[in-house]
Amino acid sequence: MTQPMWAPWRLQYILSKKGPECIFCDEPKEDRDRDNLILYRSGKCFVIMNLYPYNNGHLMVVPYRHVFSITELNDEELLDVSKMVQRSVNCMKEAFRPEGYNVGFNLGRVAGAGIEEHLHYHIIPRWVGDTHFMAILSEVRVIPEHVKSTYDKLYPLFNRG
């Protein structure tokens, strides 16, 4: 039997006013990686933490090029994105020891894409019991640490020599 993963707090993001700009295009141009939660930059993509996470450590791998679908990525971009997903899983494994992961794209609004016009890959660490009664009954999520603390834990793992 399939069980839904409830995330009512994401409604804040869904209902928020969004401008015509693309955060995935604009934020990498800024010199404010910690403020923008950018953990790592590679040649064709970057790793950014989700400001409205489903779970502690929820990351996204985003190509620099503004594309809508995985079918629009060229071979170099596809390889780089795949390597960054692998690196992200390895860093989270070391930092948090999750028991599993949800990894994938939401292609199109009907598939759950919050920013559907710029492709991004989600990596969500999972633990037994992380979808407990609090989120369902009280619309409260239990994220065990502040997003900046999580950033400070992951940043050195992504950026070590």
- What is each CA distance from 73 to 60, 115, 123, in whole angstroms? 16, 17, 19
Q: Fill in the DSSP letter of residue 79.
A: H
Residue 118 among the catalytic residues: no
- Contacts of 145-152 with C-beta under 8 Å, sequence gap 24+, read 145/56, 147/37, 147/49, 147/51, 147/53, 148/34, 150/49, 150/56, 150/57, 151/34, 151/37, 151/39, 151/49
DSSP string, 87-115: HHHHHHHHHH--SEEEEEE--SGGGT-SS
Catalytic residue among 58, 66, 118, 120: 120
Catalytic residues: 120
